[in-house]
Amino acid sequence: MIELERKSVVRGLASFALAAAATAQERIGPQERPPSAGPLPIDLDAPVSRWDDGLPLGNGVLGALVWGGENVLRVSLDRADLWDERLPAALLEEGWTYETIRKLVAANDAKTLHERFDVPYDTVAYPTKLPVGRGEKQLAKRIRLDPSRAEVIAGYGISRARVCVLAKLPLILVRVDSESPKVSIVPPAGVAKLGYEPAAAGEDADAKWYVQKAAEGVSYAVVCAHYVDPKGVTFAISVGKATGGADPLPAARAATELDPSVTYDQITQAFHHSWWAERWRTSWVKLPDPKLQAQYDLARYLYAAGSRVDQLGLGGAPLALQGLWTADEGGLPPWKGDYHNDLNTQTTYLAYPPMGFFEQGECFLRYLEQLQGTFRAFAKSFYGVEGLVVPGVMTLGGRATGGWAQYSLSPTNTLWLVQSFDDYWRYTGDREFLEKRAYPWCAAAGEALSALLAPAENGKLRLALSSSPEIFDNSMKAWLPPNSNYDQALLRYGFSALLRMAAAVGNEAATARWAGVLDKLEPLDVDAGTGSLTFARGVPYTESHRHFSHAMAIHPLGLVDVEGSEADRKLVAATLERIEAGGTDWWTGYSFSWFACMQARAGRGEKALSYLEKYLAFTGRNGFHLNGDQSGRGLSKFTYRPFTLEGNMLAAQAVHEMLLQSWGGVVRVFPATSARWGDVQFKDLRAEGGWKVSARRELGSTQWVSVVSPRGGALVLRNPFGAGAAKWSVPDVERRGDDYVVTLPPGALLEGWPRTEER
């Protein structure tokens, strides 16, 4: 039996490494993985000399990156919610408000605006997600991530090391065959930038540890215990956190106390592998391109490893910029590892509904719900309105950090988060979620945003300030004529969603209220010359730009589409063509995967695949999205490599958009699939309405479609079989123009094939 005091294992960060003498190189053999569903392993030959090329592990609370070179294995650890939450003094001064920004913009006082709202973010190290440290010794020749088992195997000589972050326990295990119990744990140097005193280290015959005091009475302890048996040694690593000046070491030490008779294999069998096997069975796709297949599977893996509803009694946290894989370079994480809500959180959590990874989405939504009080206080103190507003850039605790004020303090970012609640409802059909959780949160956002709107001279509602992430960076030119198309699209989407939600819950008064706001909003702005969407009135899209904020109405909001009016079709085409004409010089990696989504939504499968393939140039050896062009092909003038997650998830969503779309009440199978993907299939992807859809395409033609109806209802399926007739497994499937329509009871299965003589 494994004895663990679960409640004592609390949040923290650590980094450790272990090593052993190597005499010959081992080639790691194939590992077991679930049939059809599991991904192929990721193999890396040493040296893996950068942390952001490391192989990721995680359980939603604790993460690890395994890397190394020159016979060195490093395992850098991370905890989701260890933060320094202090705010710079400037953010606490009187007048740090939206009204002050309005006055400074009106006065064209760029200097004061920059000093008060931008400089503190750039010059004060906190608030920030905290790094820890690293230890190292000789070991690795080759490392492999087996995503199906969420385990890293490192070959070294005639033996191997195995590393996992247990799925069901807040513990990291490392098993080293034929090795001594020597291990190093080294506190982080980067925390010195935060003014912390050096960590206090200790050890005894069975374990090593250190205790790091952080800010505001927070401290954390890293403990690495070892258990030796005739065949090797197992290391158990725990991290404890304490507040109020308490000592975190006793609880962290107790958490590593295992029954020495229980083996690594027994522990992982009981608390790890079955959980991962179930995740991989949820859904899968099979693509003809192994590189894109690996990228898609990586996104699934990162969701499951990094974002979970609390199962460990520790709370965890949703994926921030780098998720559970904070930089291990001796400093602090890029952009403080914070929560950017002007693109990053929203697009990071865009691809989970089609995968059916609803627990992963729940992690994010519960987090937003738990911070509702903080967001309401922010709406009142900063914007002077009731309701809730989410800071565009914030700490784990939901506190605004400042930064480029045009985006970090833009209130409409909150309406992009409304889409996260809306998507969960539309994909699950969970009415209780809608009534008790989604609508109340979204209605509070609507209350605040409607209060920030005022009639313009034409009687239409406008914001006092407007911007479009992140065009013109943080210059005064970035304050655009209200409302920018970014703001306008989010306002139109947000109040449309509120209208639908209120109607669905039967709230007639609220339905009328949101309809009234929606009726007073202006249409999107269109450039008369090109017929494309602008940034704002008088500000056309005329230059390469990384953030397609002006075109959000096309994707992901879906306000205009190629199945709408002739004007809508022309607008979509002109906007996409204008973006292409601007070139990719100033795109980052996520721009390519996002543009692949846009092209697929417009039914342009060949272009979608082309941009998705180009996106791969912005990934590292392990598949992480690294922002800049890593290929040397000149796809972008950005060649830096800060790691963030949204590019990975947008790439997965581009695959979904090519294989399955379900907006507007219609399910579309293979709606934008490239001719180069002649043979492709998917199993149990989700569509809006809760449908579980599977399909197979061979030699460029759909050969089979399956729809499972968990909740029942009317299914509208766009004809997937071309001009020929179809055969269905149930009666009463009616052909209506381009669609097949049928009403299915809960739990029913519908299968379809192209009709042939054999059938």
For the stretch 721-734, pLDDT in tens is 988 789 999 999 99
Query: For residue range 224-236, what is the model confidence (pLDDT) as tens digits?
Result: 999 999 889 999 9
Q: What is the mean pLDDT of residues 284-305?
A: 96
Name the residue with higher pLDDT: 10 or 319. 319
**Where is average pLDDT lowest: 68-72, 174-178, 332-336, 630-634?**
68-72
Band of residue 277 on the pLDDT scale cut at 50, 70, 90:
very high
Name the residue with higher pLDDT: 238 or 704. 704
pLDDT at 440: 98
Q: What is the mean pLDDT of residues 289-305?
A: 96
Mean pLDDT taken over the chain: 90
723-754 b/e with 16+ CB inside 10 Å = b? eeebebeeeebeeeeebbebebeeebebebbb
Domains in the chain: ranges and CATH: 6-84+133-281 (2.70.98.50), 92-123+343-386+395-521 (1.50.10.10), 680-754 (2.60.40.1180)
Query: For residue range 469-488, what is the model confidence (pLDDT) as tens digits?
Result: 999 999 999 999 999 999 99
Per-residue pLDDT at 2 exceeds 50: no
The whole-angstrom separation of Cα 650 and Cα 365 is 19
> Percentage of the chain surpassing pLDDT 90?
80
pLDDT at 255: 87
| Residue 632 falls in which region: left (phi positive, over 0), alpha (psi -120 to 50) or beta | left
Band of residue 514 on the pLDDT scale cut at 50, 70, 90:
very high
Q: Judge contact between 610 and 592, C-beta under 8 A.
A: no
Q: What is the mean pLDDT of residues 452-480?
A: 97
pLDDT at 45: 83
Four-point Cα dihedral 570, 572, 575, 576, nearest 10: -120
Per-residue pLDDT at 27 exceeds 80: no
> Percentage of the chain surpassing pLDDT 70?
92
The whole-angstrom separation of Cα 559 and Cα 553 is 5
Q: Judge contact between 181 and 224, C-beta under 8 A.
A: no
Query: For residue range 177-211, what is the model confidence (pLDDT) as tens digits?
Result: 877 788 888 888 889 999 999 999 999 999 999 99
Q: Which of 29-38, 237-246, 317-326 has the highest mean pLDDT?
A: 317-326
Furthest CA-CA distance within the chain: 83
Please spell the DSSP secondary structure of 489-544, one letter per residue.
HHHHHHHHHHHHHHHHHT-HHHHHHHHHHHHTSPPPPB-TTT-SB-SBTTB---S-
Q: What is the mean pLDDT of residues 425-430?
A: 95
Per-residue pLDDT at 544 exceeds 80: yes
End-to-end CA distance of the chain: 56
Phi, psi angle pair for 427, to nearest 5°: -85, -30
Q: What is the mean pLDDT of residues 550-563?
A: 98
pLDDT at 9: 26
The whole-angstrom separation of Cα 655 and Cα 601 is 11
pLDDT at 155: 75
Whether pTM > 0.85 for this model: the answer is: yes
Phi, psi angle pair for 172, to nearest 5°: -105, 135
Residue 250: helix, strand or coil by DSSP? Answer: helix
Per-residue pLDDT at 315 exceeds 70: no
Per-residue pLDDT at 113 exceeds 80: yes
Q: What is the mean pLDDT of residues 68-96?
A: 88
Per-residue pLDDT at 759 exceeds 80: no
Q: How many CA atoms lie within 13 A of 305 on its CB side?
A: 29
- Report angle CA 231, 234, 238 to the nearest 5 degrees: 175
pLDDT at 34: 38
The whole-angstrom separation of Cα 323 and Cα 307 is 8
pLDDT at 143: 82
Per-residue pLDDT at 4 exceeds 70: no
pLDDT at 139: 57
Per-residue pLDDT at 578 exceeds 90: yes
**Where is average pLDDT lowest: 152-161, 598-607, 707-716?**
152-161
Q: What is the mean pLDDT of residues 370-379?
A: 98
